[in-house]
């Protein structure tokens, strides 16, 4: 499965090391592409970067949230569908994206967009570990 993460804004310290850590941990599980767009990227510019056949997930605070086991089940369903995945993380001002197939939240708190990128990658890694019944200690 190919997973694309489109993030508005560049990742900066202290988040750079965490992003790199989870990108490395995900290598055995998925083909990961991370696309960084400028801080002022428009929804149209973001939509153009979403792979054609990918199931597009927009991070949005008002959207429903899933626990880790539900996230793993959801991931397995996406894999079975044969479609790749694309997660879209808006910048500091958020983002509305008509192209999104669904919206998901990591809870009712507002996360800095750089931290949201770390959380997306960590949750993908956690879901893969759950699906393989592997321990998670990272």
Residue that the structure tokens 């990658």 belong to: 121
This prediction has a pTM of 0.92
- Expressed as residue numbers, the domain containing 29 is 2-131
Q: Is there a domain that residue 45 lies in?
A: yes
pLDDT on residue 107? 87
pLDDT per residue over 23-71, tens digit each? 999 999 999 999 999 999 999 999 999 999 999 999 998 899 999 999 9
Extract the tokens encoding 85: 């995945």
Q: Is there a domain that residue 119 lies in?
A: yes
pLDDT on residue 127? 95
Binding-site positions for S-adenosyl-L-methionine: 59, 90
**Domain count along the chain:** 1
pLDDT on residue 137? 62
Q: Is there a domain that residue 62 lies in?
A: yes
Span 127-136, average pLDDT: 90
pLDDT of residue 138 exceeding 60, the answer is no
Give the C-alpha separation, 89 to 116, whole Å.
Answer: 7
Q: Is there a domain that residue 138 lies in?
A: no
What CATH number did the domain enclosing 84 receive?
3.40.1280.10
Q: Is there a domain that residue 30 lies in?
A: yes
Q: Is there a domain that residue 137 lies in?
A: no
Give the C-alpha separation, 129 to 112, whole Å.
Answer: 26
- Which of residues 40 and 91 earns the better pLDDT score? 40
User: What are the angstrom distances between the C-alpha of 136 and each of 17, 67, 123?
Assistant: 19, 15, 11
Q: Is there a domain that residue 90 lies in?
A: yes
Binding-site positions: 59, 90
> b/e string for 40-73 if b means 16 or more Cβ within 10 A?
ebebeebeeebbeebbbbbbbeeeeebeeeebbe
pLDDT of residue 92 exceeding 90, the answer is no
Q: Is there a domain that residue 136 lies in?
A: no
Strand partners, 50: none
pLDDT on residue 61? 87
């Amino acid at each position: 499965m190919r997973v694309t993460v489109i993030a508005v804004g560049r990742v900066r310290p202290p988040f750079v090391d965490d992003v790199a850590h989870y990108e490395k941990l995900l290598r055995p599980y998925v083909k990961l592409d991370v696309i960084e767009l400028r801080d002022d990227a428009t929804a149209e510019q973001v939509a153009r970067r979403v792979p054609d056949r990918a199931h597009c997930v927009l991070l949005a605070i008002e959207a429903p949230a899933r626990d880790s086991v539900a996230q793993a089940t959801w991931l397995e369903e996406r894999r079975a569908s044969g479609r790749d995945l694309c997660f879209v993380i808006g910048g500091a001002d958020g983002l509305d994206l008509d192209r999104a197939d669904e919206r998901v939240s990591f809870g009712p708190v507002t996360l800095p967009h750089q931290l949201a990128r770390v959380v997306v990658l960590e949750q993908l890694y956690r879901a893969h570990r759950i699906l393989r019944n592997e321990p998670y200690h990272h």
